[in-house]
Amino acid sequence: MNNDLNYSGDKRRIKYPFIAWLLTIACLLLYTLCPSVSHAGKEGVFVNNSVYFTLEEVSLAKSSDSQSMQFRVMLTNGGSSAMDFNHYGVKVSASDGRSYYAQLSEKAEALVASQTSRTFAFVAKLASDLSADQLSVTFFDRSRNQAELGSLSVSKAMSFQQNDHQFVFNLATVDAALSGSTFVSVQAGSAFAYPVDGKWNVALNATVKVSGTNSTWDPTGLNYVLKDEQGRTLGLTAEKTDDTKLDGAAVATLLLTAKLDAQPDLDKLSLGLAVKSTGKEIGTIGLQTLFQRVKLGEKTPLTGPGKEGLTLEATTAEEVNQSGKRLGIVNVKLHNGSSRTIANPVLTALLVSKDQQNSLAAETIVSTDKYTSAGKEASYQFVVEIPDELVSTGYELYISEKTSSAGGTSPASTSATTGTGTSGAAGAATGGNSSSSTLSLPLVALNLDSGLQSGADGAPVTDSGLGVPFVFKTDNQSVDKNLEVSLVEINSHSNPETGYQSVIAKYKFTNKGQETLSLPELATELSDSSGKTYTGTKQTTALKELVPEASYAYSYSYLLPPGVKGTFKLSVLEGNGSSTLKLPIAAKQVEIKSVDGDKPVINETTLKLYPYEVAINSWSLNGTYSNNTWAYKLSLDLKIAKQPDVMVDDTTGSLEFELVDPSGRALGSSIYPLQGTNKLINDWQNVTLADVNNNQFQYPLSIRVYETVQTPNGAAKRLLVTLKQ
């Protein structure tokens, strides 16, 4: 096998006149004496004063008994005629005199046109005891009986990497059915191990580069096995997550997964490679240092196609008590350090208790932005409900990306056997060999040795006054930055007949922007000093959108025990998205005032039920008896005013008039809206209370006036006033 490159056309060899040939020989002799000179900041080996070689990229990969070196050399032709790379050869030299043959590993055009440059890829097998500072790449001229032109230092290459988790081989040496020079480089990446449902999932990211004669060879054609310290093997499922072409080579990223029955010893695991058709072992890659965990505040670079310049950073990890639940909350930033705008990935997380070997799936809450521009960051919040019986001193959080496979699933080897596990995919959805499927690609393992810190819910606290706009978390998904929300009323009413206290809180929404906004579906709750929480039920509303410079108000009702009094914390919770665990995005302290006392009306008493004010100037109650039933007519002189900037609809406000006797028995009631059909109006009008069929009631009678709010759970009401005869 040689270094010759093939190309089409009739320029197979460049003919030189005799005189020109002599001049060239003289120049080559001159540069042989001093072959390496500095050119544009690079070390170079010169063929003549305008043609030279440079060493661009080098990577060394060590195994137990050998190592491979992959490198690229660039031929720069500054002359006036094309240069044929086939005239020159390359080898790897060691400082102790040993030398190693280098093979071309990618297809490339041999002719390098005038005033252009071209790179050529090589691979060489070396002794395992050699380090980079002992190695150089030597160039020789085939036409001059292999005369050396000069050498370039490996350690001074433009790019150098030490890849200790890489194995490189020639396909022709492991498969007799293949010919030519096809090189396969398997690079093991980040590795993860975590318990799920009584099993231990092992996941490994790998990159396989295929170059040379048959660069279309499918890397899922290998058997990938997990090996422990006793030599036992377990077949890994290989799922292709990306497939790209790069510099004449095919580069595939793989997710290798397996399930084990017992916790593995991570320091003793390795990745074995074998020929699928024969089972012949090709090589082994140690995985010991790949099971890495990062700490809070550390930025972790993401690897893989399209992730260049991206880092993940976990900023806080806390446990809070919210709505009577233990919640673990981890906040994460995705930093875009690239020069391009990126689509934000879909991230998921798994919280693992290390001492109890338990795992809990987290819900993901993200910022509303779908893209992150260069130099900016995106926020993610992972929330998990922790059972009361789970008490752990140390946690780990495994963050994965939901992505689609690139097709080509390689099932776990059926011939691989082990006494410690069973084969299967860890976090990957099964799919056909040619169709894509959705899978979870592990990205980061976060080490939380100190456990989850006790923390507050993180919601900004707003001034307790009514009418003061809430201050919301800037990364919330529910409330637009141009939507102002304030609490305008909150009152309680205890109903002795039902045995509970009803609290109605009214919220005002104002569009401060220039575009129509959707009204958010918020959740709210009240909590007392002991941590007991009471969930709010939203009023049934008709309005869904709010035009600029307009306001709208609706209510939430809360059911509390009759004796609960004092100051409460009112929390506004995230309502949008798929999350069932609601987190506070704003909060304030409120004092709930009771309106249970009898309030006999005198002239010009005003009822306030935002956005209305209803003044009762005068009233009278008269009854008629017919066919064993009473009918009462309540005559009212009303003056109704509405806040001019607040939009209303038929659901905005209603008054219920309830007839009661001195013992508190309700004899009948009627509901009248303040907007829509049969609404209450200014001046005198009559409210009918019919079908009062109880002849045993006592006098004097009273009228209780309630504000009613329709909710999905029925009508909620609060007492506004009692009209006594």
pLDDT of the residue at 58? 92
From the number of C-beta atoms within 10 Å of its C-beta (0-12, 13-18, 19+), residue 354 rates as middle
pLDDT digits (tens, 9 = 90+) for 29-52: 444 444 444 444 568 999 999 999
The CATH architecture assigned to 605-724 reads Sandwich (2.60)
Q: Which two tokens stand for residue 316?
A: 């806080």
Helices marked H in 14-82? 18-33
How far, in Å, CA of 240 to CA of 431, rounded? 11
Spatial CA neighbour of 616 closest among 567, 682, 670: 682
How far, in Å, CA of 185 to CA of 34, rounded? 35
How far, in Å, CA of 237 to CA of 411, rounded? 5
pLDDT of the residue at 373? 93
**Residue holding tokens 């050699």?**
130
Q: Which two tokens stand for residue 240?
A: 């292709």
How far, in Å, CA of 154 to CA of 134, rounded? 8
Q: Which two tokens stand for residue 493?
A: 């009413």
Instruction: Determine the residue type at 573.
Output: L
**Does 18-161 match 461-594 in CATH topology?**
yes
| DSSP secondary structure letter of residue 482 | T
Phi, psi of 322 (to 5 degrees): -135, 125
Instruction: Determine the residue type at 669.
Output: S
3-state secondary structure 369-401: CCEECCCCEEEEEEEEECCCCCCCCCEEEEEEE
From residue 204, how far is each of 108, 253, 258 by CA, in Å? 32, 11, 9
Q: Establish how many alpha carbons lie within 13 A of residue 273's alpha carbon, considering only the half-sphere containing its beta carbon.
A: 24
From the number of C-beta atoms within 10 Å of its C-beta (0-12, 13-18, 19+), residue 381 rates as buried
How far, in Å, CA of 13 to CA of 52, rounded? 19
CB-based contacts of 182, cutoff 8 Å, min separation 6: 170, 171, 172, 210, 211, 212, 213, 214, 215, 217
CB-based contacts of 465, cutoff 8 Å, min separation 6: none
CB-based contacts of 94, cutoff 8 Å, min separation 6: 100, 126, 127, 130, 134, 135
Strands (E), 277-324: 281-286, 299-301, 310-322
Phi, psi of 134 (to 5 degrees): -100, 0
C-alpha dihedral, 306 to 311 to 317 to 321, nearest 10° = -40
| pLDDT lower than 50: segments of the chain | 1-40, 412-434, 577-578, 598, 601
Q: Does residue 90 contact residue 102 with C-beta atoms inside 8 Å?
A: yes
Spatial CA neighbour of 88 closest among 8, 5, 211, 201: 5
pLDDT of the residue at 409? 60
In DSSP terms, which residues pair with 380 in a beta bridge? Answer: 332, 366
Q: Does residue 596 contact residue 586 with C-beta atoms inside 8 Å?
A: no
| DSSP secondary structure letter of residue 539 | P
How far, in Å, CA of 723 to CA of 483, rounded? 39
Q: Which two tokens stand for residue 20?
A: 């020109």
Q: Which two tokens stand for residue 502?
A: 């009803």
Spatial CA neighbour of 717 closest among 512, 497, 406, 478: 497
Domain ranges of the chain: 18-161, 165-309+343-359+392-448, 461-594, 605-724
Helices marked H in 153-291? 171-174
Could you give the angle at the alpha carbon of 680 between the alpha carbons of 676 and 686, nearest 5°? Answer: 135
How far, in Å, CA of 614 to CA of 507, rounded? 19
3-state secondary structure of 87: helix
How far, in Å, CA of 15 to CA of 19, rounded? 12
pLDDT of the residue at 575? 62
**Class of the CATH-defined domain 18-161:** mainly beta
How far, in Å, CA of 587 to CA of 675, rounded? 32
pLDDT of the residue at 34? 42
CB-based contacts of 337, cutoff 8 Å, min separation 6: 309, 310, 311, 375
pLDDT of the residue at 81? 93
Q: Does residue 288 contact residue 271 with C-beta atoms inside 8 Å?
A: no
Q: Which residues of 517-526 are buried (b: 16+ CB within 10 A; e: fewer)?
A: bebbebbbbb
How far, in Å, CA of 461 to CA of 82, rounded? 74
C-alpha dihedral, 387 to 389 to 392 to 395, nearest 10° = -20
Q: Which two tokens stand for residue 22?
A: 């002599």
How far, in Å, CA of 440 to CA of 562, rounded? 50
Q: Does residue 390 contact residue 356 with C-beta atoms inside 8 Å?
A: yes
CATH number for 461-594: choose from 3.20.20.70, 2.60.40.1240, 3.40.120.10, 1.10.1370.40: 2.60.40.1240
pLDDT digits (tens, 9 = 90+) for 388-415: 778 776 788 999 998 877 666 655 443 3
Dihedral sign for Cα atoms in the order 582, 584, 585, 590: positive
Q: Does residue 477 contact residue 470 with C-beta atoms inside 8 Å?
A: no
Task: Return the H-helix or E-strand segment holding 148.
Answer: strand 147-153
Chain mean position to CA 444 = 12
Q: Is the pTM of this model over 0.75?
A: no
C-alpha dihedral, 405 to 406 to 408 to 410, nearest 10° = -40
Q: Which two tokens stand for residue 135?
A: 């190695």
Dihedral sign for Cα atoms in the order 438, 444, 447, 448: negative
From the number of C-beta atoms within 10 Å of its C-beta (0-12, 13-18, 19+), residue 439 rates as buried
